[in-house]
Amino acid sequence: MNELPVQLTAFEGPLDLLLRLIEQEEIDIYNIPIHRITQQYLERIELDQLDPQIGAEYLLLATELLEIKSRMLLPDHQLKPLYPDGEDPRAVLLERLLAYRRIKATRELLSVRQESHRIYSEDFLLEIPQGKVEVSVKMDPLVLQEAYRRAMIAKDRFSTDAPSSFERFTKANYSVSLKQKDILQLLSYMPTVVFSSLLASSAPKGEWVASFLALLKLQQDQRIHLSQPKRFSDITIEKRSR
């Protein structure tokens, strides 16, 4: 049965669409059948009807999926030079999907609390475990995601990028692991870095996403400490002592 064309504006981005496909097909996210999911993704975004105004990021992910698919088809002896540690070509994609799923879940929880007028109520504050109060608010992915969301809104509002930047999106390759190294190197020169300083206004969205995911990964691995002196202020990043 042919499905109706999907309106990309109904999704928050390419990862949202991909995650929706995985959930609809009841696919194990830890063992994604890359050939099948790539084919479905390409059919959904309808490349021949792709709007450059909103399609650059979708096309970028399509390119990544096709690259992963091609690497999965290579014989083992050809894969070894590319993945000396035996890393699955899907590993980076899985990392991004899991991070996005966590962010989406926390955002939905926040939305529910807002609707019930409990976001800053006393009973919500009592849910915070005792004995973990610091001078600055202890950071979690939700607060970091909210800071990222506000930054993206500001970027879209003041961006002067023309549709001609479409080609730059398709050729760029933003590595989360390299962004992690950049952040740690920056922290080796200075004791603290603020979140906004990592997001250059002239940088494309793909680079912003990589920076955001890198921070989430570094925090998850307990390699950095994130703090916020007061609500809605800029986030401070410090390197944890080993």
Closest C-alpha among 205, 238, 209 to residue 139: 238
CA–CA separation, 8 and 51 (whole Å): 9
- The residues near 31 (Cβ < 8 Å, ≥ 6 apart) are none
Closest C-alpha among 159, 139, 164, 155 to residue 215: 139
CA–CA separation, 181 and 62 (whole Å): 26
pLDDT digits (tens, 9 = 90+) for 191-212: 888 888 877 666 677 777 778 7
pTM exceeding 0.85: no
Domains in the chain: boundaries: 1-97, 130-242
**Confidence at residue 225, expressed as pLDDT on a 0 to 100 scale:** 84
45 touches 17 (CB < 8 A): yes
Superfamily in which the 130-242 domain is placed by CATH: Structural maintenance of chromosome 1. Chain E (1.10.10.580)
pLDDT digits (tens, 9 = 90+) for 209-221: 778 778 888 887 8
Spans of the chain below 70 pLDDT:
1-10, 47-55, 74-86, 110-174, 200-203, 231-232, 242
